[in-house]
Amino acid sequence: MVMAMDIFIPPELLAGSPQTGGHFLRINKYGADTEELLLRFFELAVKHGAFLEKGMANPTAGDIAYFESSCAVDFRLDKGFIKASARKFSTAPDSVLDRLSDSLFQSLSRLKGEGKNDSILKNIFIKFMCWLRRDIARAIAPSKEKYPPKILCKGGLSRHEMMMLTAAAAAGCDVLIAEYDGSAYFDKLPDGEKTAELINVTGGSDFPSGFTLSDIRKKADEMRRRAAVISSGNTGNTTLTPASKNGGYCVNAWISGDIFSDILTDPAKRGNEPDTVYTCYARINGAENKTTYLGDLYKFYITLKETREPVIIENGITPPSNEEISAISRGNYRTPADMITALSANIVHSDIKLQSKLRSAFAAVMDMYFAENGNDMRKGISKAVFLLCFLKRYQGALFGSYRTKFPCLIIFGGCKSGGEAMFVKMIARCPADVLILRPDLNGKCELSDNMLYERNFTESLPAEKFPKENGDASMGTVAYYAERELDTMMYTDTGIYRSHQYSKANSVVLRTMYEEIPLLWNTELKYRPNFSTSGDMVNIPVIMAKISGVKDKDLPRYWNELHDLISAYPESTLVFKGEPIITEDGSCEYAVGLMRNGRLNKSAVKAHKNYHYGFLKEETQDYILDKLSAFLEANVIKDRKSGGLEYRIIHIALNMGSDMLRLIQKFDFTSVNPKIVYISTGENIISRSDSILLAFLSRLGFDVIFYIPTGYQSAEKYYTDGVMNCLETGEYMFDLTVPDLSKRIADPKKSIFKRIFGKEK
């Protein structure tokens, strides 16, 4: 046990260096110095480290998509693999990544020893990597600070979160957990994982009722807000000075904390200092009351519109076009200072004083960029040009009526990119109010700024559209949101799935034995081997097989097996008896215009007059087109590039019959998947077009089985290796006539007694 003040003052004494690992500490008592301790730790954590006020949330779909695009999909419980993956999400040196990876490897190995299978370990590993990128990367990144990085986190953590923090401590971070809700979570950990040392608080008592780390954040915000006044001549340094009388800005120091009310306050009545512009620069995370959030926001907007013209950006700022970029005058520069001075000449306004303020704000943000990222002129010019493009795009709307209507910029959903965050920083250093609204706590905002004032609420509300019209303010009832939360509890990592819970899927062809096919055919996807979920994606195991020959030449059993497959799920099964599936190929010249840079252009597909799938659900359309794009890139058809075959593939995939489209529309990725039985008893080889269609349906999640009693070559003629399993099951038989498979076939070899009372095999 250690005394708090012996360790935390001075902070440099808390850990030796990032090369030796950091301290992993927890505090569960409140004493005279506890608040100061947490405040000092908070200040250091936000400067270099991580402040995990709500722990580490499960990865979002965007987190997982980023991981899948950056790392190998195949997971290996191997230190080298873990380190290689971690390197993609961190700039930490090898020595730090070695210790981090070693700790994560030990944790995963412990879970494997407890019986966790590879699928579960992979999902946990993905969670670790997403947390590394989103929550921990900054803490272990190289820094010029003299003290080890700090991580401040609340208690009540999951076992996996504790494993991640253990790895962060091993990598050189000082980690402090504030256990104001008790230590029950820690007591449940296996003995070998109780690595966090308890700080002894002499004479301490339980934390005050209702205490949270948000209290510490608010305390720090208040201390910062009291001094948050910068002069108009500031060129990027974030030094805060008292309000001046020489034409400065007062940012946030005047606000009450009720942000909507503060922004609605007449700018002329915000303070008494002459020649001082009082602005609000704030971010609201979450919703105070999600049942009334959109309605309250609409009322705020209507009131604001009475006196001002706010500029509202939702779903991010689109990148500059080539025309916008070419309109920026630029040249060759020796130093960042020369570049900033020259490029600022692109900022022109009829009000000379405002023009000077805009140029100063541009210079301030670019100075910060070079201070944080080094003097790479090529990257710096690129960032500066984007910044100037954004300013030119919105300058008229923001500052066109500057003298009569005070500018207000509202970012709905948070800053989606670093370039957007730089633009917001620049506007915040101009005479304007800036408000960032992030009601969905699962969405990430890229903006980090020590001038920013924040309000944090625990309720999360997914919302993509700012309510500018009354009809936009669609609100749910308390019962509605309670049901959504219950859904989250019931259907997240429980093995229970809501109907059509997932809209994205990857199909994986199972390698099977002949005897396994009837069993798998009758098994729902969620119960098949290798089924797994990750975020909003589900991996579905499917059957894609050719069965050649007749086992033991037993035709009654052969036909009865087919009868059983077809009758198992008749509403979800299509049967083809050697006849062509695609009877009219038609012209596919139109498909040429649907490719851009060698890839399928989804927008062009949906806008084309030949597109017939517009009646399907939007997510179903996107699923089909995403799978088509992946199918084209996978090269599963032999000689794919000969004769414009990619355009034929597009034509086939976009002209499926209504029977197939209905099966796709009602397909639930966790339940029974659509099925196709293809029977060929003659010498006609299936066409390439039909083979392409069936391979594509397999990628969509269909079970596809070819029954070929003759053993003749079939669709595999057109496929590359691995697309279909080819199973030899018995003697080849010829000139067979397919019977009525809606009925079972009686076996003439059996006696009447056995046929009546015996069980057929």
pLDDT digits (tens, 9 = 90+) for 41-53: 888 888 778 888 8
CB atoms within 10 A of CB 655: 16
Q: Per-residue pLDDT averaged across 627-654, rounded?
A: 85
Where b means 16+ CB within 10 Å and e means fewer, 461-487 reads: bebeebbbeeeebebeeeeebeeeeee
Checking if the pLDDT of 516 tops 50, the result is: yes
Measured in degrees and rounded to the nearest 5, phi and psi for residue 190 equal -60, 150
State pTM to two decimals: 0.43
In angstroms, the CA 601 to CA 128 distance is 34
Instruction: Flag whether pLDDT at 224 surpasses 80.
Output: no
Residue 663: strand, helix, or coil: helix
d(CA 155, CA 584) in angstroms, rounded, equals 65
Does the structure show a pLDDT above 60 at 410?
Answer: yes
349 burial class (0-12, 13-18, 19+ CB within 10 angstroms)?
Answer: middle
> What pLDDT sits at residue 246?
29
Per DSSP, 679 falls in state: E
Please indicate whether residue 650 or residue 147 has the higher confidence score (pLDDT): 650
> Does residue 272 or residue 74 have the better pLDDT?
272
Burial class for 608, CB neighbours closer than 10 Å (0-12, 13-18, 19+) = middle
Measuring CA to CA, how many Å separate 614 from each of 62, 587, 596, 606, 611? 26, 21, 21, 8, 7
Minimum mean pLDDT range among 159-163, 478-482, 545-549, 663-667: 478-482
Q: Which residue has the higher pLDDT, 265 or 754?
A: 265
pLDDT of 750: 55
User: Rounded to an integer, what is the distance from CA 695 to the centroid of its chain?
Assistant: 29
DSSP state of 471: G
Angle at 242 between CA 237 and CA 245, to 5 degrees: 105
Q: What percentage of residues in the chain have a pLDDT greater than 90? A: 47
Is 374 a residue whose pLDDT tops 60? yes
Q: CA-CA distance, 615 to 658, in Å (whole number)? A: 11
DSSP state of 124: H
Distance, first Cα to last Cα, the chain: 71
How far is residue 544 from each of residues 144, 668, 726, measured CA to CA in Å? Answer: 56, 19, 9
Q: What is the mean pLDDT of residues 520-547?
A: 89
User: pLDDT at residue 484 above 60?
Assistant: no
Categorize the per-residue pLDDT at 134 as very low, low, confident or very high, splitting at 50, 70 and 90: confident
pLDDT of residue 102: 94
The alpha carbon of residue 74 and the mean position of all alpha carbons in its chain are separated, in whole angstroms, by: 19
In this structure, are strands 150-154 and 174-178 parallel, antiparallel, or unpaired? parallel
Amino acid 222: pLDDT: 66
- Check if the beta carbon of residue 601 is closer than 8 Å to that of residue 626: no
- Between 239-243, 396-400, 643-647, the lowest mean confidence (pLDDT) is in 239-243
Closest CA to 280 of 225, 242, 334: 225
Write out pLDDT tens, residues 234-256.
333 322 333 222 237 888 888 88
The per-residue pLDDT for range 691-732, each reduced to its tens digit, is 999 999 999 999 999 999 999 999 999 998 889 999 999 999
Q: What is the structure's pLDDT at 412?
A: 95
DSSP state string for 586-622: ---GGGGGGEETTEE-HHHHHHSTT---TTS-HHHHH
pLDDT in tens, 326-342: 999 988 888 888 899 99
Token reading at 48: 């270099």
DSSP secondary structure letters along 262-320: HHHS-GGGS---TT-EEE-EEEEESBS-TTTHHHHHHHHHHHHHTT---EEEES-PPPP
pLDDT attached to residue 643: 63
The token duo for 487 is: 């859904």
Q: With bands split at pLDDT 50, 70 and 90, how would you rate the model's confidence at 748?
A: low
Q: What pLDDT, on the 0 to 100 scale, is given for residue 408?
A: 96
Cβ count within 10 A of residue 213: 20
pLDDT at 662: 96
Burial level of 442, CB count in 10 A (0-12/13-18/19+)?
Answer: middle
Give 621-640 pLDDT, tens digit per residue. 999 999 999 999 888 898 65
- The residue-averaged pLDDT of 450-466 equals 85
Predicted local distance difference test score (pLDDT) of residue 190: 92
Collapse the DSSP code of 72 into the 3-class scheme (helix H, G, I; strand E, B; otherwise coil) and give the result: coil
Amino acid (one-letter) located at 526: K
Answer yes or no: is pLDDT of 495 > 80.
Answer: no
More reliable by pLDDT, 277 or 478? 277
- The pLDDT value recorded for residue 752 is 42
Given pLDDT bands bounded at 50, 70 and 90, which one contains residue 586? confident
Give long-range contacts, CB 8 A cutoff, 24+ apart: 285-288: 285/438, 285/441, 285/445, 285/454, 285/455, 285/456, 285/457, 286/438, 286/439, 286/441, 286/456, 286/457, 286/458, 286/459, 286/460, 286/461, 287/439, 287/457, 287/459, 287/460, 287/461, 288/457, 288/459
| pLDDT surpasses 60 at 751 | no
Question: Which long-range contacts link 158-162 to residues 24+ away (Cβ below 8 Å)?
Answer: 158/55, 158/185, 159/188, 159/189, 159/193, 160/124, 160/127, 160/128, 161/55, 161/56, 161/131, 162/186, 162/189, 162/193, 162/196
The structure tokens listed for 417 are 């990119």
Average pLDDT, the chain: 84
Which one, of 433, 452, 416, 474, lies nearest residue 309 by Cα?
A: 433
H/E stretch holding 251: strand 249-251
pLDDT for 289 equals: 80
Q: What are the distances in angstroms from CA 471 to CA 227, 312, 437? A: 42, 17, 20
Residues whose CB is less than 8 angstroms from the CB of residue 566 and which lie 6 or more positions away in sequence, other chains included? 573, 575, 677, 741, 742
Output the pLDDT for position 371.
84
pLDDT on residue 250: 87
Q: Which value, to the nearest 10 degrees, does the dihedral of the CA atoms of residues 684, 689, 695, 697 take?
A: -110
The 10s digit of each residue's pLDDT in 135-164 is 888 788 887 777 788 999 999 999 999 999
- % pLDDT > 70, the chain: 86
Q: Which is more confident, 1 or 500?
A: 500
Q: What pLDDT does 242 receive?
A: 30
